[in-house]
Amino acid sequence: MDTLPAYSPSSSVPSYHAEPSYDERCLDFSARSHRRVAPDGTFLKAAKGITLVLTEQESGTSIPTYTRHASVKGDILLEDERIQSVSLKLDGRQFVSSSESGSSNTHLFTESITLWSKSEHPYCSLSPAILPFDIPFPNTYREGKETRPLPPTFTAESPSVPGVSIRCEYTLTVTVTKPRLGGFKKHKRMIVPINYHPRSRPYLPIGCGLHPFLSTVKCAPGDWHQVSSTIKPRSGATIGSIEAHLFIPAVQIYAISDTIPFHLQLQGSQASLNAFLFSPESSPQARNAALRRAKTLSVSYESPAESHLSSFAVSLPFITRASSNPLLPEPPPSPLKPDPSLPWYVDTSRGKPTVRVYLLRQILVKVNGTKSWRNIVLGEGKMYPVQAQYHACPGAESYAEQALDWEGELKCNGDVTVGGFNSGPLVLKDFIMIELKPASPETSPLLEHQHPHPVRLVTDTYAES
């Protein structure tokens, strides 16, 4: 047989650097997930001669918190070592009820371990004073034949969600059994509530410097996603519809702490925009008179007393001057200090249209085969008008295409702590909602308009390693 040829040693692997050299350029980059360093604090609770110590907690925390793939680690310290057994139980429950379909109580899981038992150590008169433990936190639970992800710790029992009560809760229970006279046993229990907060983050960043939209959409159109909907006229109306275009960051996955920029444009004939901006009772002469006497503009926030959904109404529209350098735009004018020399004013004497962009959460529960849902507002959009193409007199009946533009930002309220999830009988879905109401909606030839666009809210913002 022929012998194998001789091989020379391989050359060493060349050195690599994270940053490109002067003669190199980066073609693509995908950031690794941010590695979260486990906290080094401890949680202590003492009662009935039992001291529970939980490690890897934030310093000063009042409730222990665990993430996905975590373990409940710590020690149990005993003042009295004359005991029969020490056990530990980690369990989770989900309680859901609605006024339409009743209630259900789901036992998600139970993980139990015995740390020490005298029956297993018959020759030990005393138990150890310190008992360490380590219980892996499960990520899923069984519902019939299906495996579902564990829901995060979540509670919805407030006037903002009427008719629905939700509790997803987890507890750690320490049970110490001591002998008593007559052969009876005495049980001491310590129950500690814990939080389960699985973490997730977007796969891409929102993007830096997305304002102003009219400049950035030309140089980076892939950073934006367009959501289109239509404001329809009433049956028999002689005007056309208005197209509403909402532009949001293309990733469409946002952290609950992120500030989400957006751009809203209404596009339609001048007659249709007039019908949206003005009440039909106001004559062209009255509108022109309002233009001449108007000296101020305002952006108003109205909260109806009978509704838990606050309304965001904008006195529409005024046109800002364009910056001489589109790459270095002037900051938007403050709504509290309008410029009276701007060429457009709104007739505020008879009501005004409503333009509203906000974050909406739909809570869907399924109990006894019946589905119920409630909507809650997670955050209101802050917006201001920007330069538009609507320069004509509001009394003219021109059918040329015109446009109105606004830029704004969305952010969740400070009390939002969890993102959307689906755990079977309980589903949390998040949307960016557009709400448009013409002036005097009861008599306007245009219908009121609402359009939800689904997005995903997560716990952590995008972070590069």
Tokens 């003042």 locate to 79
DSSP per position, 80-98: ----SEEEEEEEEEEEEEE
The confidence score (pLDDT) of residue 290 equals 44
**Could you list the pLDDT tens digit for every one of the 465 residues in the chain?**
677 777 777 776 666 666 777 788 877 666 555 556 778 889 999 988 899 999 999 988 899 999 998 999 999 999 887 888 899 999 999 998 888 778 888 899 999 999 988 888 777 777 788 999 999 999 899 887 888 899 999 988 766 667 788 899 999 999 998 877 655 678 889 999 999 999 998 988 887 666 667 667 767 777 899 999 999 999 988 889 999 999 999 999 999 999 999 999 999 998 898 888 887 766 555 555 544 443 333 333 333 323 322 233 333 333 222 333 332 233 333 332 333 332 233 333 346 888 999 999 999 888 888 888 889 999 999 988 885 444 444 444 455 678 888 989 999 999 999 999 988 888 999 999 999 999 888 888 999 999 999 999 999 988 754
Cα angle for residues 211, 215, 217 (degrees, 5° grid): 85
Amino acid at 136: P
The confidence score (pLDDT) of residue 370 equals 84
Amino acid at 260: I
The closest alpha carbon to 410, from 183, 257, 214, belongs to 257
The closest alpha carbon to 192, from 312, 29, 51, belongs to 51
Cβ burial, residue 365 (10 Å; 0-12/13-18/19+):
buried
**Residue 61, helix vs strand vs coil:** coil
The confidence score (pLDDT) of residue 160 equals 62
Task: Pull the structure tokens for residue 261.
Answer: 């920029």
DSSP 233: B
Task: Pull the structure tokens for residue 370.
Answer: 């019946």
Q: Global pTM?
A: 0.74
Rounded to the nearest 10 degrees, how much is the dihedral formed by the CA atoms of 52, 53, 59, 61? Answer: -30
Task: Pull the structure tokens for residue 278.
Answer: 């003005």
The confidence score (pLDDT) of residue 374 equals 87
How far, in whole angstroms, is CA 55 from its chain's centroid? 29
Q: Please say whether the beta carbons of 250 and 198 come within 8 A.
A: no
pLDDT tens, residue by residue, 94-103: 998 888 778 8
pLDDT tens, residue by residue, 66-78: 999 899 999 999 9
The closest alpha carbon to 69, from 23, 164, 138, belongs to 138
Amino acid at 165: S
Amino acid at 203: Y
The confidence score (pLDDT) of residue 260 equals 93
Task: Pull the structure tokens for residue 441.
Answer: 């909606």
DSSP per position, 307-350: -SS-EEEE-----PPPPSSTTSPPPPPPTTS--TTSS-----BT
Amino acid at 344: W
Q: Please say whether the beta carbons of 386 and 335 come within 8 A.
A: no
- In residues, how long is the chain? 465
Strands, E assignment, 164-259: 164-179, 185-196, 224-231, 242-249, 253-255
Which residue ranges form the domains of the chain, and what is each CATH number?
Answer: 41-196 (2.60.40.840), 213-458 (2.60.40.640)
Strands, E assignment, 214-272: 224-231, 242-249, 253-255, 260-269
Measured distance CA(35)–CA(49) in Å, rounded: 38
Strands 71-78 and 130-136: antiparallel
The confidence score (pLDDT) of residue 119 equals 81
Q: What is the maximum span of the chain, computed from C-alpha positions, in angstroms?
A: 107
